[in-house]
Amino acid sequence: MSNSSEDTSQKTWLRKLQYKWKLESLWQVILVLVVFACTGMTVLWIKQPIFDLLGIDRSEGGFGKTILYLLLVLPLYQLILLVYGFIFGQFGFFWEKEKQFLRRILSLFNRK
């Protein structure tokens, strides 16, 4: 495969994200992806100390530990996402996504 066709497919992929996320530039798409990467790495880095602090042994699996992990780490992930979004100048984008996420969560509990 030639470099030019590879470059075109990457641009197409980034352009699709730009359109989907309603971003102004490819540079903004890259910054958003960097925020997601930094957030994920940070959560992986702090997960073990949090579990150690709570006395949770991760050597054995279990449904309860998975639920506890989700209840603890998911809100922390959302908060870290906003912090990195602010650092990289993308707070507005992530704040809007955060509000959408919260609306979806709340709609699960508001169904009649």
pLDDT tens for the chain, 112 residues long, are 445 555 666 668 999 999 999 999 999 999 999 999 999 999 999 888 887 887 777 677 778 777 887 888 889 999 999 999 999 999 999 999 999 998 998 898 887 5
Domain presence at residue 7:
no
Query: How far apart are the C-alpha atoms of 13 and 11, rounded to whole Å?
Result: 5
Domain presence at residue 10:
no
Domain presence at residue 62:
yes
- Residue 73: partners with Cβ closer than 8 Å, 6 or more residues away: 43, 47, 50
| Contact in structure between 84 and 37 (CB atoms under 8 Å) | no
Q: What pTM was computed for the model?
A: 0.79
Domain with 76 in it: 25-110
Domain presence at residue 9:
no
The whole-number pLDDT of residue 53 equals 83
Domain presence at residue 93:
yes
The whole-number pLDDT of residue 112 equals 59
Q: How many domains does the chain have?
A: 1
Domain presence at residue 5:
no
17, 28, 38, 29: which is closest to 81 by C-alpha? 38
